[in-house]
Amino acid sequence: MRRRLFHVPQWMVSLGRMLGLVWQAQPAIFLSLILLTALQGVVPLLTAWITKLLFDLLALVLQGSGSVDLVRNLAVLILIQAAALVVSQMIVPASRYLGEELGRKLTVTVESAVYKKIGSFGGIGYFENPGFHDTFRLASQGARFGPMQGLHTLTAFFQSTITLLGFLGMLIAFNPLLAALVGLAALPQLWLELKLGRQRFGLAFSLSPDERRVFYYGYLLSDANAAKEIRLFGLANHFLDGLLDTYRKIHAARRRLDLRELRWKLLLEALSALVFSIAFGVVAVQAFARRLSLGDVTLYVNAVRSIQSALSGMVYAIAELNEQALFFKQYDHLMALPQPVQIAPSPRAVPTLTSGIEIRGVSFRYSERHPWVLRNLDLSIPAGSCLAVVGLNGAGKTTLVKLLTRLYDPTEGQILWNGIDIREFDLEDLRRQVSVIFQDFMRYAFTAQENIGLGKVEFLDDLNRVRYAAEKAGAHETVTNLPQGYQTMLSRAFGEDGTGTDLSGGEWQKIALARLFMRQADLLILDEPTASLDPQAEYATYNRFMELVQGGTCLLISHRLSTIRVADMIAVLENGSISEYGIHADLLAREGAYARLYHMQADRYKTFC
């Protein structure tokens, strides 16, 4: 193994990365802040020195030597002191404003980086992994506060170092032993702060799932969709109890750490006061022995206090930085996450679907801890034909769609498009060629036009195209009946003038279907798009759909077997693979799983007739 000559500690790497982010957000403010801080570091030195000179002059005056020179010197010192104080006071609000401004810029830089990264994930595997959500939370937190903390540490360091070196120089000249005592007294504090910082991070990490649970309870208790069930099942108090219990758990863990911190801090504060008292005693003894002037006494007492507070500030800043560096590592970790699906190094353009789709020996499970959903599945969809897939709940139909759209890659086997493995294609290009509606499609809190136009975002503002898609999906009439037509906000939570509206399940489904018709894709996939439609709308939708996809390739998934008879071929998915395949009449004649399902549904209708 190659040994590195210089080992750079992790917190330094993180500090560098954090400062890099601050610089990227706003270099001018970054530099101004450093400059102002340096200025602020010099002021205490200057004022302490002037105070000493003032006291010495005062001592001369008290001894009765009041010459004109003395008065002039006094006036000059008072003026310099006033100027230094004015500048240092003005630096405080100016730095605060610049800090706030930098914070705002940084939030934008960090949020755009984080969401850009997340948006770039081609698959959805991470989103279903709780560990990812913890990383995401801590990374956002670390990236939002860490860089400012890094800057704060740097400036505090800069400022404190200037103050510290000046005063330490004076104190060493006076009494090196005393200087060493004051300096060494800061070490236990450093040790404690570093230890506590690590514990705070460890706690934040372990409590992250509980914090997310609290957020979830809060969301449930205030969400419009959940409001119905919560009232009808009388769940409000149950969820509130859950929220409070989780809070209690979080607070108990935090309290334990706070108490530990309190015990140590009490001890260290006492130590610091003791060191100051010793220093005060040493200075007093020297003064009474007439080895110090009055000015010297104020200077050294001032020096001890200032060194203590500068050291304490530095120690605190280092510890904070160390803690933020741990959070920031999560940001780095998030940024370094690889694509959840395989990305071809030199992706191929997706050719027009001329021969068809072939699913060859595909097996899939959501993770190694999950059971197999699909096992050795073989299936083909010839170009220009419509295949229907039926199966019981949980058979793996939606999972199959996720594989076809590469939201996940198969664990084993391959999916071919015109004989080419779809993993070789450019992911975005593939998705342009496939149009899907999932059974749990999105209901966006945007206008009707946007809800449809989002099917092809480039045409979001093209009302003609949106209307055309709505007409195809049978959604046009629904939309025109809304208070503001296509401009109606489809959410009661966002419509500013109170005109926002919600739609029925079936109406939403038509809107989602319209989204599908915004694009012209080679492969159309409907995963139970008509479950909420009334029989008339369902019948019309399928007929229209079949007219529209004439010559196109499609995959239909539905539990209503009467409607999928329109498909060219039907496949039954059972136990992870295809158990039956054929046309409706043949499958009925076979009297297998399909026939059983079909008769069950048909009997139900007969019973009700």
Ligand X SMILES: Nc1ncnc2c1ncn2[C@@H]1O[C@H](COP(=O)(O)OP(=O)(O)OP(=O)(O)O)[C@@H](O)[C@H]1O
Q: Under the rule (CB under 6 A), what is the footprint of ligand X?
A: 128, 366, 370, 373, 391, 393-399, 439
Burial class from Cβ neighbours inside 10 Å (0-12, 13-18, 19+) for residue 587 reads: buried
Min separation Cβ 381 and ligand X, Å: 17
Residue with nearest beta carbon to Mg ion? 398
For residue 290, what are the contacts with CB-CB under 8 A and spacing of at least 6? none
Residue nearer to Mg ion on the CB measure, 310 or 525? 525
Asked if residues 178 and 282 have their Cβ atoms less than 8 Å apart, the reply is yes
Closer residue to Mg ion (CB): 397 or 406: 397
Comparing C-alpha atoms, which of 594, 522, 529, 528 is closest to residue 554? 522
List Cβ neighbours of 309 (8 Å cut-off, separation of 6 or more). none
Q: Which stretch binds Mg ion (CB under 5 A): 170-178, 193-201, 210-218, 389-397?
A: 389-397
**In the complex, what is the shortest distance from the CB of residue 411 to Mg ion, in angstroms, rounded to a whole number?**
19
Q: Closest distance between ligand X and the C-beta of residue 369, in Å?
A: 9
By C-beta, is 326 or 524 nearer to ligand X? 524
Residues that contact Mg ion, how many (by CB under 5 A): 2
Give the strands of the sheet with 412-417, arranged side by side.
Answer: 372-382, 356-365, 412-417, 420-421
Q: How far apart are CA 229 and CA 328, in angstroms?
A: 40
Task: Report, in Å, the least distance between residue 530 CB and Mg ion.
Answer: 13
From the list 379-387, 398-406, 461-469, 578-586, the region that binds Mg ion by CB under 5 A is 398-406
Nearer to Mg ion, 326 or 434 (CB): 434
Q: Which range touches Mg ion (CB under 5 A), out of 358-366, 394-402, 585-593, 599-607?
A: 394-402
Nearer to ligand X, 214 or 572 (CB): 572
- Tell which residue, 351, 381, 353, 376, has the closest CA to residue 365: 376
- Give least dist CB 525 to Mg ion, A: 12
Residue 528 is given by DSSP the state: S
Binds 394, which of ligand X, Mg ion, none (CB < 5 to 8 A, cut-off by type)?
ligand X
Residue 367 one-letter amino acid: S
Cβ atoms within 10 A of the Cβ of 545, count?
A: 26
Closest approach, Cβ 154 to ligand X, in A, equals 44
Closest CA to 353 of 386, 394, 310, 389: 386
Q: Which is nearer to ligand X, 329 or 397 (CB)?
A: 397
Q: How far apart are CA 272 and CA 289, in angstroms?
A: 26
State in angstroms the smallest separation of the CB of 329 from Mg ion: 38
Q: Which one, 58 or 531, has the nearer CB to ligand X?
A: 531
Of 93 and 371, the one with the shorter C-beta distance to ligand X is 371
Q: At closest approach, how far in Å is the CB of 366 from ligand X?
A: 4
> Which helix H or strand E contains 301, and what residues bound it?
helix 294-335
Q: How far is the CB of 505 from ligand X (least distance, A)?
A: 16
Residue 370 interacting partner from ligand X, Mg ion, none (CB closer than 5 to 8 Å by kind): ligand X
Residue 398 in the binding site for Mg ion (CB under 5 A): yes
User: Smallest gap, in angstroms, from Cβ of residue 597 to Mg ion?
Assistant: 15
Burial of residue 36 (CB within 10 Å: 0-12, 13-18, 19+) is: buried
Q: Which long-range contacts (CB under 8 A, 24 or more apart) does 283-286 make?
A: 286/174, 286/175
Least Å distance, CB 393 to Mg ion, is 8
The Cβ-side half-sphere exposure at 32, using a 13 Å CA radius, reads 14
Instruction: Please choose which of Mg ion, ligand X, none residue 393 contacts, taking the beta carbon within 5 to 8 angstroms, the exact cut-off set by kind.
Output: ligand X
Q: Beta strands 577-582 and 569-574: pairing type?
A: antiparallel
Nearest distance, CB of residue 525 and ligand X, angstroms: 12
Q: Based on the number of CB atoms within 10 Å of its own CB, is 182 exposed (0-12), middle (13-18) or buried (19 or more)?
A: buried
SS3 call for 415: strand
Beta pairing partners, 574: 577
Return the one option of ligand X, Mg ion, none that residue 88 interacts with (CB less than 5 to 8 A, by type). Answer: none
Nearer to ligand X, 16 or 130 (CB): 130
Shorter beta-carbon distance to ligand X: residue 21 or 437: 437
- Does 531 interact with Mg ion (rule: CB under 5 A)? no
Q: What three-state secondary structure class fits 590?
A: helix
Q: What is the DSSP letter of 529?
A: T
Q: Based on CB atoms, which residue is closest to ligand X, 102 or 373?
A: 373
274 three-state secondary structure:
helix
Query: Which of 565, 451, 458 minimizes the C-alpha distance to 516?
Result: 451
Backbone region of residue 189 per phi and psi (left: phi > 0; alpha: psi in -120 to 50; beta: other values):
alpha
HEC letters along 72-104? HHHHHHHHHHHHHHHHHHHHHHHHHHHHHHHHH
3-state secondary structure of 560: coil
Task: Name the minimum Å distance from CB 396 to Mg ion.
Answer: 8
| C-beta closer to ligand X: residue 168 or 403 | 403
Stretch of 279-287, 363-371, 391-399, 535-543 lying at the interface with Mg ion (CB under 5 A): 391-399
366 sits near Mg ion (criterion: CB under 5 A): no
Q: Which is nearer to ligand X, 364 or 425 (CB)?
A: 364
Q: Which residue ranges make up the site for Mg ion (CB under 5 A)?
A: 397-398
